[in-house]
Structure 1
């Protein structure tokens, strides 16, 4: 069952929390590298937990990780790691915290080489989910199949975030997600 349908069966505060994310964020292209990094942090932290838990802690993640500033997170010290391990506003898992810091450093290197994290992602379009997973596992920490799939669907690089009959689907198409763009052919020289 799609996320679009699951939300319809929810009620009250639970439905409102998910509906806000579904209607305004899920599947829309993100053009800000810090926000892309933030979504990656959230997807990594969701592993083994419910997405609802992550949505409830989003403000905590933003605060703890300096509003997802790639440069600031990349410079975190051992003291920052301990601060994060003691922060009840986030998921206190050393592997996930270390992954966020290591991935920030990876993104800085990709920005230096490609101009931005987004441009690095675009340079690999199109890929199948399996090809993306292999690429992410080669470059990033704590990025298995579900994490990579959800990260790429939620940021407009892979299709599937919304059912075609979902009211948000047309808005997503208007936002021009990369998965819906024609593939550019390499020019012959």
Structure 2
């Protein structure tokens, strides 16, 4: 259930600020910075099988562990970095997810060289249905199943669904990204 659809009082007070900040300031808004796009992809991949709240709580430690999501730095990670990440309790210590982050960073470097930026590559693919996006991402990246791709694209404004029309943030997102209203 999305935060905007949550019944008031369903989310305990101590967790509301975390969810509200992400919901009101990040979810569904476009991202132009490649490192931030990469960071969102890393976080979505790491969320698989876990709660989004856990990932949000660990965002700062993910940033630190993954060199502030600097694509070139992560792409150059070697075995010592993999071992460091797999031993770091501040991130999700899953070999497949760690390897996906490193390999996906390498892929993004290739996309940047061919298209100028990761953001440009994504924009050049638009519009696509969710099924088309999933097929493209599975072909291009590691550890990108349907749920991960759908949430990643909703979170950056390329698929609708991050907010419902009754949510005040829905209208803020529209101001920043009219693509969000295009039906997929």
Bin for the TM-score computed over the shorter chain: over 0.9
Paired position in structure 1 for 2:5: 5
Q: Is the counterpart of residue 71 in structure 1 residue 72 in structure 2?
A: yes
TM-score between the two structures when normalised by the length of structure 2: 0.95
Paired position in structure 2 for 1:39: 40
Paired position in structure 2 for 1:55: 56
| Stretches of 4+ aligned residues off by more than 3 angstroms | none
How far 1:180 sits from its partner (Å)? 3.5
**Alpha-carbon deviations, 1:20-67, whole Å to 9, x = none?**
100010000000000000000000000000001100000010000010
Q: Alignment length, in residue pairs? A: 182
Paired position in structure 2 for 1:81: 82
What SS class does the counterpart of residue 168 from structure 1 fall into? helix
| Runs of 5+ unmatched residues, structure 2 | none
How far 1:177 sits from its partner (Å)? 4.6
Paired position in structure 2 for 1:104: 105
Measure the CA separation in 2 of the matches of 1:137 and 1:13. 37
More displaced 10-residue stretch of structure 1: 10-19 or 34-43: 10-19
Measure the CA separation in 2 of the matches of 1:125 and 1:162. 20
How far 1:13 sits from its partner (Å)? 1.5
Paired position in structure 1 for 2:19: 18
**Alpha-carbon deviations, 1:67-123, whole Å to 9, x = none?**
000000000010000000111100000000000000000000000000000110011
Paired position in structure 2 for 1:185: none
How far 1:176 sits from its partner (Å)? 1.7
TM-score between the two structures when normalised by the length of structure 1: 0.93
Q: Is the counterpart of residue 138 in structure 1 residue 130 in structure 2?
A: no
More displaced 10-residue stretch of structure 1: 168-177 or 76-85: 168-177
